[in-house]
Structure 1
Amino acid sequence: MLRGLYTAAAGMMTQQRMHDTVTQNIANVNTPGYKSVNEAARSFPEVLISLVGGNGPGSSQIGKLNTGVFAEETQPTYTQGDLRETGKSSDFGLESSLELVDPATGQPYAFDQSGKFVKADGSVVYRPQAFFTVQDNSGNIRYTRDGSFHVNGAGELLSSTGFKVLGSNGQPLVLDRPINDLQMDSKGNFLYNGAPTNQQLQITVAASPYELVRNGNGVYEAADPQKAGLRNMTAADAVTVRQGSLEGSNVNTAQSMVDLMTAQRAYEANQKVIQFYDKSMDKAVNDVGRV
């Protein structure tokens, strides 16, 4: 078996998947609330190579051999996107800078720019994230950062995908006044002429956002709400709702172009290796085989 041939083929498939992931990020650079995704690659388990026979009894160990790499999973990056003003009363942007306290020290974790903190034992803690709460057409609860809402003829507040936006009571929001006559405070409460109404957006906080599953169109679902640590936002949470604004995507276009070229070059390198093996086998069959 030509191990190098299979290793190069596995590398090509992995780089193709990474290329597709970066392309998806670039295609959604202007999608409100879009969170970029990263491909995590992992090597196949190493194989122990031994020499059987030789000068001594039994077998002698030669060493370990890696047999390739594969794209293990796709993970989103929940960093804050830039807020841009739209002037539309039905647009809402979330600005989140939630903290998490280390139970061992009683101090907040010092999250890095990607929103993670690596403990001394190697375990990783992620920054909690806030989401708008919506209900899909089948009645399932979903979560999104895309606040480009609109109001239908029945006064229901709908997301860009047509899902019903939920209020703090867990029910779909039905506005009793035109959206242009309503204002919103920083905690998602609707105001009329400066006075609070009884309607409020339901903002859900996920203590473990990486437990959420991407459901398409910028919408996430929680397979296990308890594991994701879902709860309703409180007034003490460092989450701000801004009316007339939208959160842009957090895609870094410059880094995406670099990643795109890197994946392409690595793909071409593995392709050259396969071509080399092809020529070697052609030589072995057609030339050496004749002798």
Structure 2
Amino acid sequence: MIRSLWTAATGMKSQQLNIDTISNNLANVNTNGYKTQRAEFKDLLYATIKRTNLQDDMGAPVNLEVGHGVMPTATTRDFRNGSLIETQNTFDFAIDGRGFFSVVLPNDQVRYTRDGSFKLSVDGDEATLVTSEGYIVLSEEDDAIVMENGMKDITVDNMGYITATDEDGEIVEIGRLKLVDFMNPAGLLSEGQNLYSATVASGEEIPLEADEMESKIVQHYLEASNVQVVEEMVKMITAQRAYEVSSKTIQVSDEMLQMANNIRR
């Protein structure tokens, strides 16, 4: 019965983490480019009380084992595309398919995002394409994307090439957005602010070349969160019931221990 107390406690702890993950998904239901997280679990070590003992087709055919509960192992992100929402904003870009935008932090470290809600940071006669936090959006040459004063009719095609009309009415090419992918996107490290960093698990960035990329850039749109509220509500109810069952197990184990202590009275 003492074992059952600790086993049930692991179930309650795991379901608490499950609820934490679900609540984070629901909190980010309106976050641009947010990807749903899913908590994963595995069972703990088993105590083998009796092993199989088959000799000449006789003996015990199965083990006698007792588990010690459950533990969380990972929180996996679902990188399926979210819905595309029209904004009519010139500098809102959505990736339809796989891939990430590349941005550089003030410490010169590169990060990756699916949030294409970009802005212009004006400095004199030039403007640089940046994120909402002011991080520079990289071009495929790993440079900043700079637009001169007087440029208008700025457009981005499906492959990420940015063009504009200058003061003389001529169409000029400004650059191409740097788009990358990873062999294992689920291995990326989430850093908040809709940013990810590469890890050993994700592998190094794989540039998406214009003539080979299957994804496309959609201007005037943003990618919404791929959180399915109904699914998260069902998961939350399931986690709550599992938490209640584990707490009930602790209560029953306590009552059984109390009965055993009162036998001699």
Q: Aligned letter for 1:191?
A: T
Structure 1 position 208, deviation (Å): 2.0
Q: For the Cα contact (< 8 Å) 2:184–2:203, is it kept in 1? A: yes
CA distance in 1, matches of 2:22, 2:116: 24
Go from structure 1 to structure 2 and tell me whether the alpha carbon gap of 1:242 and 1:178 turns closer, same or farther (over 3 Å shift).
farther
User: TM-score normalized by structure 1?
Assistant: 0.79
Q: Aligned letter for 1:265?
A: R
Give percent identity, aligned residues only.
Answer: 32
Structure 1 position 233, deviation (Å): 1.0
CA distance in 1, matches of 2:151, 2:6: 60
2:118 paired with 1:149: yes
CA distance in 1, matches of 2:207, 2:243: 45
Structure 1 position 157, deviation (Å): 1.6
Residue deviations 1:215-265 (CA, integer Å, cap 9, x gap): 12221111238x525221112211111111000011111111000100001
Q: For the Cα contact (< 8 Å) 1:37–1:77, is it kept in 2? A: yes
Go from structure 1 to structure 2 and tell me whether the alpha carbon gap of 1:265 and 1:179 turns closer, same or farther (over 3 Å shift).
farther
* 1:278 partner SS: helix
Partner of 1:231: 206
Residue deviations 1:171-208 (CA, integer Å, cap 9, x gap): 22222247863111111111114835141111112122
How do 1:18-97 and structure 2 match up within 5 A?
A: 18-50=18-50, 63-96=64-97
Runs of 4+ in 1 over 3 A off after TM superposition: 177-181, 193-196, 282-285
* 1:18 partner SS: helix
Instruction: Out of 260-269 and 272-281, give the one that drifted further.
Output: 272-281
Structure 1 position 20, deviation (Å): 0.9
* 2:99 partner SS: strand
CA distance in 1, matches of 2:225, 2:89: 19
Partner of 2:226: 250
How do 1:160-171 and structure 2 match up within 5 A?
A: 160-171=132-143
Go from structure 1 to structure 2 and tell me whether the alpha carbon gap of 1:177 and 1:167 turns closer, same or farther (over 3 Å shift).
farther
CA distance in 1, matches of 2:11, 2:47: 17
Residue deviations 1:114-151 (CA, integer Å, cap 9, x gap): xxxxxxxxxxxxxxx30000112321111110011111
Q: For the Cα contact (< 8 Å) 2:121–2:134, is it kept in 1? A: no
CA distance in 1, matches of 2:239, 2:151: 46
Residue deviations 1:18-48 (CA, integer Å, cap 9, x gap): 1111111111111110000101111113221
Q: For the Cα contact (< 8 Å) 2:11–2:70, is it kept in 1? A: yes
2:239 paired with 1:267: no
* 1:81 partner SS: coil
Residue deviations 1:70-103 (CA, integer Å, cap 9, x gap): 111101000011101001111111101xxxxxxx
Partner of 2:105: 136
Partner of 1:101: none
Go from structure 1 to structure 2 and tell me whether the alpha carbon gap of 1:172 and 1:241 turns closer, same or farther (over 3 Å shift).
same
Gaps of 5+ in 2: 52-59
Partner of 1:10: 10
Structure 1 position 163, deviation (Å): 1.9
CA distance in 2, matches of 1:195, 1:144: 29
* 1:153 partner SS: strand
Gaps of 5+ in 1: 52-59, 97-128
Go from structure 1 to structure 2 and tell me whether the alpha carbon gap of 1:161 and 1:172 turns closer, same or farther (over 3 Å shift).
same
Q: For the Cα contact (< 8 Å) 1:210–1:228, is it kept in 2? A: no
* 1:87 partner SS: coil
Q: For the Cα contact (< 8 Å) 1:40–1:72, is it kept in 2? A: yes
TM-align CA RMSD: 2.2
CA distance in 2, matches of 1:159, 1:133: 10
Instruction: Out of 79-88 and 41-50, give the one that drifted further.
Output: 41-50
